[in-house]
Amino acid sequence: MALEQWALPQLSELMPLDEESLKQIIVYTDALPDAKADEHLRGLLGDSPQALEFITSFNKHRSAAAVAKSKRASDSKDSERVNDSKDKELPAYAPPSHRRPHTNPVIEAGHIPTDAELATEPSNPDMWSRAVMYPEGEKAYNDNYQTPTIFSNNPYRRRVVSPYGYYQPAWGPQRPNPDSHASSIHQTIQLNNTLNREAQGKIDAKEPKINIWDDSKLNVAMSNMTIAAAGDQKRPAETASDEKRQSISVPLRNNNAETSTKSSKLASFRKSLGIKSSEEKAVAKTTKEIAHARELRNAILEEEQGRWPDEQWRQIVAVYQEKVGMTRKIAHLRARQPIQYLHLLRAGYFEPIPVSWAGAVSNPLKFSIEAAAGWRGITLMWRGYEDTAEERLYWVLNHREGSLGMRMKPDFISAMDMARARMASAVEPPPEYYSINDTCHLQHTSPGYSKQVMPAPFRAYDRPAVPADDTMILLDVSGSMDFNPVRPNYNKYLITGYSRSTQPKNKDVAKAIIRRFTDAMANHDHNFRGYDLTTFSSQANYIGMISHQNLDAMWRNIRIGGGTRVMTGWQKVKDLHFQKHSASAIHHPVYGWQAGLETPMLRLLLLLDGEATDMDEFELDLLGLSWAHVTIFLIGVDGCPHHHRHANELQRISDVNHHVSFIDAQGNTPERFVTHELLKRHLGYEISMSEFEQMEELPLYSVSA
C-alpha cells in the first residue's frame, strides 16, 4: 500500500491514464522480478530522464516492501502446511532408513538466496557457474564493463554490436536505435549458434573412447598397458646385447653400432631429464583414460544411488522416462556419453520435477539465462534460451523418441516473424456463432467481433471423456487480467510505446467463458453440483464448486492481482484431484502424487491471458503424465504479436504432447465459438453444431441441487 501511495502521483505525471489503470500497472509491476520490472517500466515510459528517475526510485521503494512480503508469505505457508497436515492423511510411503537428503553442487546452487521474492537471478553467480559448467574446457565470464574488452573472456563484447549504436550523446541517457537493435539481435543469434556448436564438439571429443561399463574392455586395456610397459623395460638390455653381438660378428658395420649406442645414450639422457618416450606416453595416456573411466563410473553410480535410493524410487523414475519418451536416449547417454549423462543427471533431467519446486522461490528451473551477461544454462546448447526451464523443455523435445528432427526453439527474430504471420492469418469468425449476450456486445467496447485465427480441425487423441473423469477449472487471476488492454508498438523488433485496445477486460471474458462452459458441461454430464475452481497468481487459492446458480456469488471471492505462477495452481489442482482418489494412488515424499491404474483422468480447463513465468515447468510436468488432459484457453489483445508468439509456443507443445490442447481468442471474442471448440477438446470427441446448441440450453437445476 505504501508503494502504491508513493508511486501513484509520480506515475500520473508520466502516463495520462485514469487512476484505476495506474494502480493496476503499479500492482502488476511490483509482482515482477527486478529485471523484468525494469524492462516493463522502460517499455511503458521510455528512456527519458524523468522516466529513468522514476524507475530507479520505484525499485528502491519496493525493495523494503519485498522483504516484509516474503516474511509474511513464509509465515502463511508454514501455517497452511500445519493445517493441511491435520486435515488430510497421505498414503504411507516408507523411505530408506537413515537416509540423508541427497545433494550435489547443482542442488546447492539451486538453493542460492535470491535478491527479491520473485527474482530469477542468483545472488552468487560464481557459485552457479561453477556448478553448471562442464569441467573440461568451459570458462566463466560476466558483463562487467569496467574490465577492458581486450582482457575480457566475454565473446559478446567483441563480436556483437551495441543495440544503442555508435553515436550516443554523452550527456543524456542512451536510447536503443532500431537498426542497431536489430543488428545486435542478428549477431547475438549467430554467435549463440557458433558457440553452442563449438561447446558440443569439445565435450563430444572428450567422451571416453572405451565403454566404462564393460569391465572386460577395461581389463584388456589394462593388460595391453602392462605388456607395453614390460616390453619397454626389457628393451634397453636387449638392445645392448644385440649391439655386442653385432660388433663381434659384423665388424664392417661399426658406424651403425656407434649410432645405436649414441641413440641409447640419448634415450638414457632424455629419460634422466624426465622426457618420456612415445611408448611411455602411450602407457601414461592409457593409464589416465582407465582411471578417468573408473572415476566417471563411480561418480555416476554414487549420484544414481543418492538420487534414487530404493526400488520404488527407481520405478517412478523409469515410468517418467518412458512417459516422456526418453528411455532410449538416456540409456545411450549413459553408455556412450557418460560425461554428459553425469552432468544432466546432477541437474535432475532424468526424473520428475520435485513437488517442492512448484512453490519455491528458487530452484534449478527458475534461473534466467543471458549469454551476453554470462548467466549460463545447464546443457551444452544453453545459449539462446530465456531460462533453465525453457532450456530443459526443449532439450526433452529435441531428444525424445518419435521426434522428427530437431525441434529447436525459434530465435527471437524467427519467433516474432512467425507471430506476425499468424496474426495476419486471422479471419472473421463464423457468423452462426453470433450472440447478443457476448461480453463485447454487452459492454459496447467496439462494433463487431475481432478477426480470429481459426484452430486446426479437431482430432481426437485421448480417449473420450467418461463419467468417472474429474473436470476442474484453473483460472489466471494475475494483475493483467484486470488491466485495460494495450498492445505494443514496434519499430522493427524494438518496442517504442503502447496503444489502447477497445475490447473487454480479460477477467470479464474469462468469467463469460467459464459460465458458458460449466452450463454446457452440466447438461452433458448432469453434474449440477458444479465444478472445482482454483485460481492462481503469485499463490493459489481454492474457490470452491461453481455452477450456474452460484457463479456470481463465488466470483466475488476472487481477488485479482499478483504475478503469474501457474505451477502453484497446478500443484493445488493435483492435490484436490488425488485427495478425491487417494485410494488408487500413492504419495511420494519428493515427486508427489503418483496415479495408479484405477485413478480417474483429470480433465482441466486452464484460462490464461499471457505467458506464465513458470509455463515451461508446467509444460515439462505435463509431458510425464498420462492421467491428465489439459485444455488451455489463451485470451489476448487484438493485434498483439506477444499473444500470437505465445499461441505459437502452445501450438508446438500441443503438437508433441497430445494430452494438451489449446484455443485462443483476441480482442472482441465470439464466446459461443470459443466454448464449442473448448468442449470438443475437453471432452475428446467431435461435437456437432446441433449437439452444442442442446448443451447450451440452461440446465434444469432441481431444488435439492
- Under 8 Å between Cβ of 565 and 526: no
| Choice between 109 and 508, residue whose per-residue pLDDT is larger | 508
C-alpha cell at 2: 505504501
Q: Which residue has the higher pLDDT, 163 or 279?
A: 163
Does 237 have pLDDT greater than 50?
no
* Of the candidate ranges 58-67, 117-126, 456-465, 539-548, the one whose mean pLDDT is the lowest: 117-126
pLDDT at site 106: 87
H or E element that contains 478: none
Q: Rounded mean pLDDT of 654-669?
A: 93
> Please, what is the Cα angle at 163 between 158 and 165, to 5 degrees?
85
For the chain, give the mean pLDDT. 82
Q: How far is CA 293 from CA 218, 332, 588, in A?
A: 9, 16, 34
pLDDT at 117: 38
What pLDDT does residue 32 have?
72
* Greater pLDDT, 683 or 11: 683
Q: Please, are residues 664 and 636 in contact by the beta-carbon 8 Å criterion?
A: yes
Query: Is the predicted pLDDT of residue 84 greater than 70, yes or no?
Result: no
* pLDDT of 80 above 70: no
Q: Is the dihedral of CA 543, 22, 512, 653 positive or negative?
A: negative
Task: Please report the pLDDT score of residue 18 as a whole number.
Answer: 66
pTM over 0.85: no
Q: What is the pLDDT of residue 425?
A: 97
Inter-residue contact 128 to 111 (CB < 8 Å): no
Nearest to 481 by CA among 550, 383, 559: 559
Q: Mean pLDDT check: name the lowest of 31-45, 195-209, 323-337, 437-451.
A: 31-45
Predicted confidence at residue 617, as pLDDT, reads: 93
The candidate with the shortest Cα–Cα distance to 15, out of 498, 427, 670, 359, is: 498
Phi and psi based region of residue 235 (left: phi greater than 0; alpha: psi -120 to 50; beta: remaining): alpha
Give CA–CA dist 148/688, Å, rounded: 68
Question: Residue 34 — pLDDT band, cuts 50, 70, 90?
Answer: confident
Residue 167 has pLDDT above 90, yes or no: no
pLDDT on residue 415: 94
In 346-484 the beta strands, taken as DSSP E runs, fall at: 470-476
Q: What does the pLDDT look like over 588-632, one tens digit per residue?
A: 989 999 999 999 999 999 999 988 999 999 999 999 899 999 999
Residue 432, Cβ density class (10 Å: 0-12 exposed, 13-18 middle, ≥19 buried)? exposed
Confidence class for position 369, pLDDT limits 50, 70, 90: very high
User: Pairing state of beta strands 540-546 and 585-588?
Assistant: unpaired
Report the C-alpha gap between 187 and 180 in whole angstroms.
10
> pLDDT digit string (tens) for 662-671?
999 999 999 9
What is the pLDDT at residue 678? 97
pLDDT band at 235 (very low <50, low <70, confident <90, very high): very low
Residue 475 predicted with pLDDT over 80: yes
- Concatenated DSSP letters for 123-152? S-HHHHHHHHS-TTT-------TTS-GGG-
Least confident of 145-159, 442-456, 609-623: 145-159
The predicted structure's pLDDT at residue 496: 92
Most confident among 57-66, 143-152, 238-247 (mean pLDDT): 57-66
User: How many CB atoms are located within 10 Å of the residue 34 CB?
Assistant: 18
pLDDT tens figures, 454-465 = 999 998 888 899
Task: Determine contact, residues 629/601, Cβ cutoff 8 Å.
Answer: yes
pLDDT for residue 89 is more than 50:
no
Res. 141 pLDDT band, cuts 50 70 90: confident
Q: For 80, how many CA atoms within 13 A lie in the half-sphere containing its CB?
A: 12
pLDDT of residue 87: 42
**pLDDT tier at 244, thresholds 50, 70, 90:** very low
The gap from C-alpha 410 to its chain's centroid, in whole angstroms, comes to 15
Cβ partners under 8 Å of residue 19, min gap 6: 8, 12
Please state, in angstroms and rounded to a whole number, the distance separating the CA atoms of residues 550 and 515: 10
3-state secondary structure of 631: strand
State the average pLDDT over residues 369-374. 90
More confident residue, 358 or 315: 315
Residue bearing the bigger pLDDT, 194 or 231: 194
Q: Using the predicted structure, report yes or no on whether residue 232 has a pLDDT greater than 70.
A: no
41 neighbors 54 (Cβ within 8 angstroms): yes
**Residue 37: pLDDT band with limits 50, 70, 90:** confident
What is the predicted pLDDT for the residue at 241?
A: 42
What would the mean pLDDT of 111-136 be, rounded to a whole number? Answer: 63
CA atoms within 13 A on the CB side of 455: 25
Closest C-alpha among 203, 221, 222, 212 to residue 301: 212
Whole-number pLDDT of residue 260 = 58
What integer pLDDT is reported at residue 441 of this predicted model?
A: 94
Q: What are phi and psi of 590, to 5 degrees?
A: -105, -45
What sign has the CA pseudo-torsion 508, 509, 510, 512?
Answer: positive
DSSP symbol at 359? T
Q: Is the pLDDT of residue 569 over 80?
A: yes
pLDDT at 278: 73
Return d(Cα 441, Cα 435) in angstroms, integer: 8
- Residue 146: per-residue pLDDT: 60
- When pLDDT is cut at 50, 70 and 90, the band that residue 92 belongs to is very low
